Amino acid sequence: MKTFFITALAIIGALAIAAIAPDLISGNKNVKQNSKQTNTSIKNKQDMNKVKEIYFAGGCFWGTEHFFKQVRGVVSTEVGYANGNTTNPTYKEVCYTNTGFAETVKVIYNPDVLKLEQLIDLYFKTIDPTSLNQQGNDRGSQYRTGIYFTDAGDSEIIARKLIELSTNLTGRVVVENLPLKNFYTAEEYHQDYLGKNPGGYCHIPKNLFEYAKNANPAPAPADEYKKPDDKTLKAELTPLQYEVTQHAATERPFQNEYNDEFREGIYVDITTGQPLFVSTDKFKSGCGWPSFSKPISEDLIVEKDDNSYGMNRTEVRSKNGDAHLGHVFNDGPKDKGGLRFCINSASLRFIPKDEMAKDGYEKYLSLLEKK
């Protein structure tokens, strides 16, 4: 039933594109604006080629905006009222009359730095997706959850992420997936409210703001995690580590260092020390090798076609170290995105949580936080 409901949401979203916003299909992104709002689209056409926009309704918009402001790749944010039935609503009208608006955050982001899928995954951490018209202590239809788009192509991505989310939830997911019908900027005192009032009310746990800061880390400077020369690698690595990372060998299943390692911590490239995976994304797959649902960032790895041994596989290598790590398959847990990064223990070094600060990885501690 859960999957059926989410699929229905996707179908409704598609129908809504045709019925409510036909201009979206032809590429016209103009939606109803109010006079006190800056234009939904970036005016500079050159900038338009570099950024995209998406709208998140996630309860009180103070916390949702502050959360997205922390994420690398977010260019700007703005709070307002979306998908309602009147024009130029005030905060009081949205709260106390039947305007149909949702408190919403407009997010402008750079898709070369931050993918929509990443934004949606982060958004899910801030909400209870099964709670209808309530987030935290805030109740009312204006606090409903929804993702509203101006690019019709985003609807399929949103629908897929909602289906993934629903897989292991017992309740029905009630997050809307709809085209943006209208958006009106909220009053000035609402803009960056928590930035101006750090002690202000927020339904989002404060530890998630720190998580957001590190959720999309910038690629490390080339000299920070530099690959050593071959002579150094041979001296510092074990014979197995050298063969796996440099010659794409494969260690024995089950008889390796990290297959059964499930303590909290971080996994780094054995050749460079660059962080690649965190324990919160590790799961038991039964394959005999450490399995992860995703890397810390897609920018940290390189995927290549591998047709060796008569098989068609996708090899995974570290970007900075060019070390062979393993392979990625499409048989991972659906609720974690459906991928299984099958990685050789010999390609990794595990650093337990209580040693991360001592070893210089303190800034990655927030990635171990669980909602």
Query: Which tokens is 357 given?
Result: 């600060």
Asked if 60 is an active-site residue, the reply is yes
The answer to whether 79 and 56 have CB atoms below 8 angstroms apart is no
Contacts 24+ apart (CB under 8 A), 21-30: 21/179, 21/180, 21/181, 24/149, 24/150, 24/151, 24/152, 24/179, 25/152, 29/150, 29/151
DSSP 180-196: --BEEEPPGGGTTHHHH
The answer to whether 94 and 103 have CB atoms below 8 angstroms apart is yes
The answer to whether 347 and 270 have CB atoms below 8 angstroms apart is yes
How many helices and strands in the chain, by DSSP H and E? 12, 17
* List of E strands, the chain: 52-58, 74-82, 102-109, 134-135, 138-139, 145-149, 176-179, 183-185, 265-269, 275-278, 282-283, 291-292, 301-306, 313-318, 324-329, 340-343, 348-352
The answer to whether 128 and 165 have CB atoms below 8 angstroms apart is no
Asked if 202 is an active-site residue, the reply is no
Which residues are tagged catalytic? Answer: 60, 342
